[in-house]
Each structure stands twice: as structure tokens, then as C-alpha cells.
Chain A
Amino acid sequence: MNHGDARVAPAAAGGFAPEAVSLDRVSVAYGGVAALKEVSLDVRPGEMLALLGPSGCGKTSLLRTIAGFVPHTGDVHIGGRRATGIPSHRRNIGMVFQDYALFPHMTIAQNVGFGLRMRKVPRREIDTRVEEAIALVGLRGVEHRLPRQLSGGQQQRVAVARAIVIHPSVLLLDEPLSALDKKLREEMEVELRLLQKRVGITTIFVTHDQEEALAISDRIAVMHEGRVLQLGCPEEIYDAPAHPFVAGFVGKANRLSGTVTDVTGDEVTCELAAGVRVRLATPRAVTRGDRLQFTVRPEKIVLAATGGELDNSVEGKVRTRIYLGMFTELRVQIPSGDELTVVVQNTRPAVIERQVAPGDAVVLAWSPHACRLLE
């Protein structure tokens, strides 16, 4: 289809469907400082994968490694073929940059058609494909304008059109929505997701925004200090964090630790400081006397009039209260000294129901299944 393919060496023959992108023990270092540490990652064809992590976690380095912009050790395969050693311009990748990187001296149509011109596609075909791509991102009518004459959201669409018009093997998005304001960003999230499903391009996008990652990806790779800590679908990442960092970075989590005092079936009783007992369901075998670390999500805890029905009930005193409209966030101190964050849905208007105030004594309740054991 394009001259890029001809230069890509086929991978060792195998009976399995090739992964769209596959990284095998990839390490990157800048001036002796490791940015990626032996990362292995397989991206499935057609999926939208988020690389999520705080700044400096290596997510952008990983994206730039796939793009061929950074020297690395280990192997990168794209579309089942070894890409290591193939220069960036022959990898057939579409990429959307954080600042969009539109060519300021070219019109929108020339920007979108750039990749096709480099591939020496016939003029007539370029025109139709550019027109299609511009229509696909909903920008018809701006073809002859310059990038600076468009709004941020429109420029973002042009950048997407320029990346997909070449029918890339993989689409890379580097924090594509971070320059947009919140409202527009949420609209574009939905739009990007629909577009990606319609076109079916394998997409890898970098973000530090966990809500964005949860909202639009098929799978999320949570990264920290140059490693992928957990790879899974949004539900797994949120409800079954495998690592304390993942639990803390994605959503909010209350972290507790205690000693096992009793084991019955798949439930254990764990004693925190000051004799506070918590029951938790655990998938792995533990024995009496083990020290356990576990988390409880704030929204899984309810305020109970009297405890009992949810198995765990702990008394506490409200320290702070933050009213957020849709819900109220409370910080409650329990006798063990731990401070738990609790999110209460505001199902009734504040005018008819008195809200809990700092200083109030409350009872917190949650299910043993809401507790997540950390490794």
C-alpha cells in the first residue's frame, strides 16, 4: 500500500495473530537517567490503549520509542514486523502532538495531505482522501484556511485528520486533549472514542488524566517510574488495583493496614490499631498473624444509622466536609487514628435534609467485598 511496508522486515513466523504493537524489554535512558526500564507491552489490533501516569513516569518516552524518535534497547514490533532500526518516516505511524504541531505556513488541506504527498500518492487520490478525512472529523469548509485561523478544538481535529488520512498501522496520541478547556475536552473525548471505533485504528494515547483514561480506553497501562505497573480494562484498574501506586493514582483510595486475627472461609478479620476490627474478602490465602494492607474506595463506604447490614461498621467523627454539588466529601476519623474519605451522594436536596457537619459522630459501613488487598 505504501513504500513504508516494503522496508519492514517480517517477524519470526508464528501461528498467532500478530499484536498491533509489541514491546519486548524496552529500555530508554537519557544521559544515564533511566526513563523506561525493561517495559514489555502488547497492544491488540483495533484497541484504544491509554498510557496513564504522572509526569516523568515514562509514558511519553514509550510513545516516542514506538514512533522511533528515541534510541532504546529491546525490541519494538509494529503490525507483527520488527520496527527496531527502521527510521520514523518509514514506520507508517499517525501521530497527534500535544501542541498539535500543525504546519503554520500550509493550509488545512495541505496539512492533512502532507503524509500522502510524502508517500507520492497520485494528486487526484490525495484530494479525495483529504476531503474524506476532513469530513470525518467534521471540519468541512475550512480547507483553505491557515491553522492560526482555527480554534484550539478545530486545530485538534485537523491534527487527527492529518494522522488518520495515511491509514496508519497505529495511531499515537500524545496528551491530545490537554490543551483544551474542560467542557470541550469532554466533548472531544466522546468524539475521539467514536471516531477511533469507526475507523478501527489501533490507538495508543498518553494521558495523566485518570478520568480521561477511564472514559475512553479499552485498556489502561498504569505507568510509574519507567515501568508498567498494571495493564487491564478500566474496571480492573479501578476496582482491582494490583499495586499501591495504582490504587492511589487512579481514583481516591483509603489505605488501611492491620493484623489478621481470624480466618473463616474466604473472609478474614483484620484488626487495626485501637482494636478496630474490619472484615474483608480476600482472594488469596492468609493466615492468622499476617500483616495486611488494603484499600477501600470512598464511594463504597456509606453512612449508616446503625451498623450491621454491610458487615463492617465503624464509628467515627467528621473532621472536614466539602460540598461538591452532586456529592459531599467527608473526612472521618475512626478510633484507630486513620482518617477515611467518604463520598456521600446527595440524593436529597440540602434544603430539606440537614447535612452532616464537622464534629458529628457517624457510623461508617461497607461490605467486606469493597476491600482490596494490596500485594
Chain B
Amino acid sequence: MKTAGWFAWSVTAVVVVGLVVPLVVVVASSFNPTNELLVPPRGFSLTWYGNIFQRSVFLTSFRFSLLLALGATACSLVMGLLCAVAVVRCRFPGRDLLGAVLMSPLIVPQVVLGMSLLIFLSTIGVVSSLAGLSLLHVILALPYTARVLIAALTRFPVSLEDAAVIHGAHRAKAFTLVTLPAIKPGLVTAALFAFVTSFDNFTSSQFLVWDRTTLPIEIYSYIRTENDPTVAAISTLLILATVAIVVVAERLVGLETVTG
């Protein structure tokens, strides 16, 4: 194999720096003792971490976002698995179309998606953050779960399931005893994607917030009025949590790469 040249190295360096520097800035500024977002911080203080817990709006919206993300993950995982089985295993007219429709939420601008759901839901009289956002987040997460699980199932040799069936397992039992454990990395990866997609979403979620808000929207409304490092502290905690989850998942089951 050819070793990477200076150009490849420079591109890699720019990308890595571009990805990491903003994170460093956020983490560093969260420790400022004063109410300014300064880098490097003027001293070290956990004041703003304390402030998160002083303001109940953050905790309430965090709980709501968590609930929403867990629900969207579960639903999109089940739906994504069923879609993947259909697309990979079955031959039927419109199979390619189904694949395209599954990916469409990635292409449609989020503003359009949020707006159209808003119009649709208010027309039929559903005025609830929970119902609207649940629907939206499942739609947003489905392309990711379907994509990852299609890749995992394509790579999974059907002969394994046939072997289970011929030696005495009902087809459904063979699927749960052999296929599901074999594609576990894919399931975990899909779940992570779905969770992050839902938890993070801001753009289209804004349109469907009625009685309750999500954490990203709460953070946004906070920085419109206040200019202190509280949001940097929240971001730091979220980064920590994300890294912890990914590391644990990688250690326990390994993660599926999104190719194929």
C-alpha cells in the first residue's frame, strides 16, 4: 500500500483540528469563574455547572429530550429492522422505491419537514409536543437505523439462519437465536445513531414545540437572553456522556461500520 503523502496528511490535519478545536473551546470556557465565554478561562470554577441544576428548565427539558430520544430509538430500531429484512431478504415490486423513500428524510430540508408536519398536525388537531416530536424524531432516525441494519443484514450470511432452521428451529426462533445476536453490533450502532439524531435535533423540532421543549431548544432560548458559560457547561456534560456511551458500546459489542 502507498504511504500517505503530505497532501493527505494536511487534509487529515485540517479536518481533525476543525472537529476538535471547537470542542476544546467549549470545554475550556465552561470553567470560567466570571460570566464571560473566554478562552483560555480566567481561572477555574464549577459555578456554571452548579447553575445548570439551579434552573429547573434545563432539567425538565433534558428529561423530556431523553424520553423522546429513547422512544424514537426504540420505534425506529424496530421499524428499521423490519424494513431492512424486507429490503435485503424479499423480492417485491417497489423494493428499490422503498429503499429510496427510507432515505428521503436525509434529503428533504429539515425546515420543510418541520413546517409540513406542523401544518399537518394542526390541521388534524394534534397540538402536543410529545405526539408531534415523537413522530418527527422517528422519521428523522429511521434512515439511520434502516441504513445500518440493511448493511448488517446484507453482510449476514443467510446460510446461518438456514442452518438453525434445518436443525430444528422455527424461522422466527432462528431469527432471534442466531440472526439478532450476529448483527448485534449493527443494532447497537443503529441505536446510537437514532438516539443522537433525536437528542440533538433542533431545526425541525422548533416547529413542533407546543407545551414542552427539548434541551437544544431550551439552550437556544437561554443564550438569546443570557451570555454566561452555563451552556458551555451543559455542552461539556453532553460531550462526556456521548464519549462514555460510545466507548462502552465499542467495548461491549463492537460497532458496525456504515458501509456496504
Contacts and interface: CB of A to CB of B under 8 A. Distances in A.
B109 interface: no
A4 B163 contact: no
B163 A89 contact: no
Interface stretch (A97-105, A201-209, A221-229, A364-372): A97-105
B162 A89 contact: no
B168 A101 contact: no
Contacts, number: 69
A258 interface: no
Nearest to A91: B166
A90 B174 CA distance: 13
B159 interface: yes
Nearest to B156: A104
B209 interface: no
12 contacts: A68-B166, A88-B162, A88-B165, A89-B167, A89-B174, A94-B167, A101-B163, A102-B160, A103-B182, A105-B181, A118-B167, A162-B167
A166 B167 contact: yes
Contact of A101 (B162, B170, B173): B162
A114 B157 contact: no
Chain B binding surface, main DSSP class: helix
B157 A89 contact: no
B178 A89 contact: no
Contacts of B164: 103, 114
Interface range, B side = 10 to 19
A270 interface: no
A95 B166 contact: yes
Interface of B: 91, 157, 159-160, 162-171, 173-174, 178, 181-182
A105 B182 contact: yes
B21 to A, nearest CB: 41
A69 interface: yes
A166 B157 contact: no
Interface string A161-203: 0110010000010000000000000000000000000000000
Contacts of B159: 97-99, 101
Given A95-B162, A103-B182, A105-B181, 7 more contacts: A88-B165, A89-B169, A89-B171, A90-B168, A94-B167, A98-B159, A118-B173
